[in-house]
Amino acid sequence: MRLSELMDRNGELAAVDIQGLACDSRDVRPGYLFAAFPGSNADGRKYIPQALEKGAVAVLAGAGNTIDTRPAILVTDDNPRLRFAKMAARYYGKQPQFCVACTGTNGKSSVVSFTRQLWQLAGLNAASMGTLGIDSDAIKIPGGLTTPDALKIHKNLSELAGAGVDYAALEASSHGLSQYRLDGVYLSAAAFTNLSRDHLDYHGTFDDYLYAKARLFGELLPPGAAAVIHRDGEYSAEIEHIAWARGHRILTVGAKDADIALLSRVAGTDGQNLEIRYENRTYKIHFPLIGHFQVENALVAAGLAIATGGDAAMTLQGLEKLKGVAGRLEKAGVTACGAAAYLDYAHTPAGLKTVLHAAREHRPRSLHLVFGCGGDRDKGKRPEMGAIAAGLADHIIVTDDNPRTEDAAVIRAEILAACPDALEIGDRRAAIRKAVAGLKKGDLLLVTGKGHEEGQIVGDRVLPFSDIVEIRAAIQAWKGEGI
């Protein structure tokens, strides 16, 4: 493809033939365009010589750069990330006919998975893309970033479309939105779940974090497309106002006088009995998963399915057949004495509070919690999470999450300052074994923070580690009185 076709320009660009795109110099091949972005950890401009050595014929950089890229051509832009996303969209071309995106602090992975399941229950060829990877009947790729870089997004969408996938649900993280990774995706609908403190190590302020999320509705979702908004959240009104101003078709969900309204919810041992109203019709649904937040995520997914043409009755009745998402209040096992153990990805104050409340609904004799906080991330949430744990759990073990380059003992101390009665066990495997050993009949154990992850980041290494594997191993190994 000519560079002029990628950029809607002529002149000297017309003669440059582009064989591929790369934003990592290691991926450059002869005839490629290399995008040199400044980043928080590395400046892509430093790798231009390597890209040229590997055969790059064009380099994209920010406006004002006067880098010597000979013999390649230098292309500059005021917003090179946005330009690159649009170039990637044009280069790969194909996308599923209906693409939707979900943003929010918590619930994105569940929403896109539930949306895909509801589409598939309706007989549609559908996919989900995000933290858990790509899941579809046609293509399955294990998990990675919540929102991959723009190049991977458009390449993946093109491959899905080529495999016959017509419907795709994508997670939209605040990092991905602020770095323009989703630009160029033709969205039919977008959803908002909730907003609470997270990623302030990257965004700096909560306002900047909110703005990143709001970009999905204020800039990416075209006028006339559907905005599905969970109305019960603290910042839902702000998102709804933006959607209204942009001319979106607004579909609200939740308990607060919503279009898809949750009228009642009764928790049981095998799920929850729901009463839902939509368009003056009431549906009685047995939802097979536990936790109020799971219901909220499922209703948002139902909103996306309906907004993209799904039959309302079939969609809402389909909630009875949804399967849980890996690492999201996932049941790991039951001990010999009948105590249940669950794991969850909750790694924010709001997420931890939500999952603990969900566990409390099932009236355990005693609620046990194992959790930690990640290193090189927002430090302010550590005491908040410690206080939440102290207020809602009966027995707490503070352990290591992904300490990354920080001193793990310091992270634990910052949590323990708000829950001084908790037990401290840095080794996560030992912490899980200790917690399982302390369970008695009727107790419930939650291990939170890592969910589906299969590695623990210590320093610059990723060590193999899976919460669900460790919980199950502890249940099998322990022969004490508690089990």
Do 22 and 158 have their domain in common? no
The percentage of the chain sitting over the pLDDT mark of 70, rounded to a whole number, equals: 95
Does some domain include residue 357? yes
Task: Assess if residue 260 is contained within a domain.
Answer: yes
Residue 360 and residue 443 in contact, taking contact as beta carbons nearer than 8 Å: no
Task: Assess whether 180 and 46 both reside in one domain.
Answer: no
> Of 321, 351, 381, which residue is a domain's last?
321
Domain shared by 178 and 215, yes or no: yes
Query: Is residue 147 located within the same domain as residue 239?
Result: yes
CATH code, domain carrying 408 = 3.90.190.20
Whether residues 178 and 73 share a domain: the answer is no
Higher-confidence residue: 43 or 294?
294
Same-domain status, 141 and 248: yes
Decide which of 290, 321, 352 is a domain's last residue. 321
pLDDT at residue 145 greater than cutoff 60: no
164 belongs to a structural domain = yes
Read off the pLDDT of each residue in 38-44 and give the average, rounded to a whole number: 73
80 shares a domain with 104: no
**Number of domains making up the chain:** 3
Host domain of residue 366: 330-477
Q: Is the pLDDT of residue 199 over 80?
A: no
The two beta strands, 133-136 and 271-278, are: unpaired
Instruction: Kindly give the residue spans of alpha helices, DSSP state H, lying in 216-348.
Output: 236-245, 292-307, 312-318
- The rounded distance, in Å, linking the Cα atoms of 374 and 406 is 9
Write down which residue in 321, 354, 389 finishes a domain. Answer: 321
Q: Are 175 and 147 in contact (CB under 8 A)?
A: yes
Whether residue 315 is found in the same domain as residue 207:
yes
My answer on whether 383 and 470 are in the same domain is yes
Q: Are residues 107 and 233 in the same domain?
A: yes
In a domain, 33, yes or no: yes
pLDDT reading at 433 higher than 70: yes
Domain with 185 in it: what CATH number?
Answer: 3.40.1190.10
Query: Domain check: are 403 and 438 in the same one?
Result: yes
Please tell me whether residues 210 and 247 are part of one structural domain: yes
Per-residue pLDDT band at 84 (split at 50, 70, 90): very high
Look up the pTM and report it.
0.84
Average confidence (pLDDT) over 174-198: 90
Examine residue 482 and state whether it is found in any structural domain, yes or no: no
Q: What is the pLDDT of residues 239-268, one digit of tens each?
A: 999 999 999 999 999 987 899 999 999 987
State the burial class of residue 211 (Cβ atoms within 10 Å of its Cβ: 0-12, 13-18, 19+): middle
Is a pLDDT exceeding 60 seen at residue 426? yes
Residues sharing a CB contact under 8 Å with residue 11, sequence separation 6 or more, in sequence order: 4
**Residue-level pLDDT at 198:** 63
- Inside any domain, residue 365: yes
CATH number for the domain spanning 79: value is: 3.40.1390.10
Under DSSP, the state recorded for 404 is B
